Amino acid sequence: MNDSISKQALGIGEEIDGPGRVYFEQPVIDNLLETMMELAAEVWTIRDRQAVLEKVLADKGIDAAALIEMHVPGADELAERKALREAFVARLLAGFLRRPEGAKGE
Amino acid sequence: MVDRGHLGVLPRPTKLADESYLEFLESFRDVLLSKMFPAMAEAGHARMAEDGLDVADPDLPLPVIQNSFGKSPIVPTWQRFMRSQQEMMWRRTRDSFAARADEELAWLKAGEAKGPGRLVIDPDFKVPDYARREIHLQPGGYTDDPLGGIVYHYGTKVFYSGTNDQDELHEELAQLATPPVDGKAGRIMDLGCTVGQATIKLKDRFPDAEIWGLDVGEPVVRYAHARAAHQGVDVNFVQALAEAMPFEDGAFDMVFAYILFHELPLEVIPRVLADVHRVLRPGGVFSIFEFPSASQHLPPAYRFMIDYDSRDNCEPYSPGFVHADFRGMLAEAGFAVADGPACSNGFLQSIVATKL
């Protein structure tokens, strides 16, 4: 970022950098939806990069897409990937498991 | 830094990650408008019916409509998504081009000295306060960000959901612009030209005409000029007010304006119309593609959306415009007013105003 032309230097961006807007009575819902959008944008960005990477490699004679499909994992690799996958699922569902009946006030 | 160049006439963001992220938002926005807005309209109209309201009643106060719409959970969800995608789009677009600000500013500078067209910037020009707004949430709006031209250009790629990447809409509108009945179109003005997309397309259609693009924002006319110069297109740009154009009486055969008037305070519009009337020669034609105005009835969902857009997408002047008698104002300014040819965006009205 060129400092001389940053948003701060120009004093611009009040709309996108300010407190923004809230549309639900419970702002947590606004925040959750925004987080979901940011995550979805990032997931797409990674998928798109993966596709471009495979295309670039294919242009160099490396059929990465096919090599990936044909890859046969060993037992160690399978176990390692399973552990990572289960940890990911646990993180995703952690909130629901901690508060199965919703929030309870003290 | 790798120069990722252009795709046709469209600049590419600095990184593939920026491009992918913004393309995601483009698709997201398309669903919000093409799928979720109709679903919201249906839900809102159903809530109105449950509340005993007549959806076809044009005199219902907006707060009554908002009250019924607010009972459906899809409504705040749609608002949340619209606002967030717009904020995310501008943040990423601006950050992406700011990352190569030196190169972009050098490109603008190099364009300044290039022809064939002229760039006219009056160093004493003062931007009126009404124009210094972050319209559509764009950081710095049209007037205050030196990178505002390219940021606007790429941001509107997302706005048009990818359907205008090669200025297809501007080409359509330039083809639909109405020439005077005597066929003489020697000098043409693109009023409120922003980055000059229609200006260039008008030159394609009228290659022998002298074409001018005028806008209040220096960043956008500088970008428009550099873009045209680098493409070798002979069109001219000037930073000026539409209500005080630096041209002689009767200097133009045609004036063209695309979605300009809903961005103006209501009290400024008659001054702009008077100046367009002044710079047109007798028989000259003013072609307008614009938001709907009071002469047309809008369904409650559109009234709800326009109000949302005004408050939460920084469109401060559009509610005033859509409720005003714009055609009456044109007639008052001395124009003969008629319907113009319809364009592919059915939301817009098309007007042909002829100087008698």
- pLDDT tens, N- to C-terminus, chain B (356 residues): 788 989 999 999 999 999 999 999 999 999 999 999 999 999 999 999 999 999 999 889 999 999 999 999 999 999 999 999 999 999 999 999 999 999 999 999 999 989 899 999 999 999 999 999 999 999 999 999 999 999 999 999 999 988 999 999 999 999 999 999 999 999 999 999 999 999 999 999 999 999 999 999 999 999 999 999 999 999 999 999 999 999 999 999 999 999 999 999 999 999 999 999 999 999 999 999 999 997 567 899 999 999 999 999 999 999 899 889 999 999 999 999 999 999 999 889 999 999 99
Identify the residue with better confidence: A69 or B296: A69
Per-residue pLDDT at A4:
47
Identify the residue with better confidence: A4 or B109: B109
Closest by CA position to B266, among listed B305, B294, B307, B286: B294
CB–CB of B322/B81 below 8 Å? Answer: no
Interface of A with B in 52-91 (CB under 8 A): 52
B139 contacts on A by Cβ (under 8 Å): 7, 12-13, 15-16
Point out the residue among B81, B88, B140 whose CB comes nearest to the CB of A33.
B81
Per-residue pLDDT at B108:
95
The DSSP result for B314-327, as a single string, is T-TTHHHHHTS-HH
pLDDT tens digits for range A10-64: 557 888 888 889 999 999 999 999 999 999 999 999 999 999 999 999 999 999 9
Per-residue pLDDT at B130:
96
Q: Which residues contact B338 (CB under 8 A, 6 or more apart)?
A: B351, B352, B353, B354
pLDDT band at A93 (very low <50, low <70, confident <90, very high): confident
Interface mutation vs chain B, best among A3, A23, A24, A43, most B CBs within 10 Å: A23
Contact yes or no for B90 and A16 at CB 8 A = yes
Measured in angstroms, the CA of B263 and the nearest CA of chain A are apart by: 17
Point out the residue among B95, B101, B140 whose CB comes nearest to the CB of A12.
B140
A42 contacts on B by Cβ (under 8 Å): 21
Query: In the block, which residue shows the tokens 């498991």?
Result: A97
Measured in angstroms, the CA of A98 and the nearest CA of chain B are apart by: 26
Which chain A residue has the Cα nearest residue B90? A16
Per-residue pLDDT at A96:
73
Per-residue pLDDT at B162:
87
Per-residue pLDDT at A88:
87
CB–CB of A15/B88 below 8 Å? Answer: no
Point out the residue among B88, B137, B314 whose CB comes nearest to the CB of A37.
B88
Q: What are phi and psi of A27, to 5 degrees?
A: -60, -20
pLDDT band at A101 (very low <50, low <70, confident <90, very high): low
Euclidean distance between CA atoms B341 and A73, whole angstroms:
63
Q: Which residues contact B95 (CB under 8 A, 6 or more apart)?
A: A1, B18
A49 touching B (Cβ < 8 Å): yes
Point out the residue among A15, A23, A30 whose CB comes nearest to the CB of B314.
A15
A vs B: CB pairs below 8 A:
94
Measured in angstroms, the CA of A64 and the nearest CA of chain B are apart by: 20
Point out the residue among B77, B85, B137 whose CB comes nearest to the CB of A15.
B137
Per-residue pLDDT at A3:
43
Point out the residue among B20, B81, B144 whose CB comes nearest to the CB of A10.
B144
Cα three-residue angle B94-B219-B315, rounded to 5 degrees:
70
Computed from CA positions of residues B197, B354, B207, B242, in that sequence, does the dihedral angle turn out positive or negative?
negative
Cα torsion at B251, B255, B259, B265 (round to 10°)? 40
Contact yes or no for B16 and A52 at CB 8 A = yes
Interface of A with B in 6-25 (CB under 8 A): 6-7, 10, 12-16, 20-21, 23-24
Contact yes or no for B20 and A30 at CB 8 A = no
B20 contacts on A by Cβ (under 8 Å): 44-45, 48-49
pLDDT band at A89 (very low <50, low <70, confident <90, very high): confident
Euclidean distance between CA atoms B249 and B234, whole angstroms:
23
B84 contacts on A by Cβ (under 8 Å): 33-34, 37
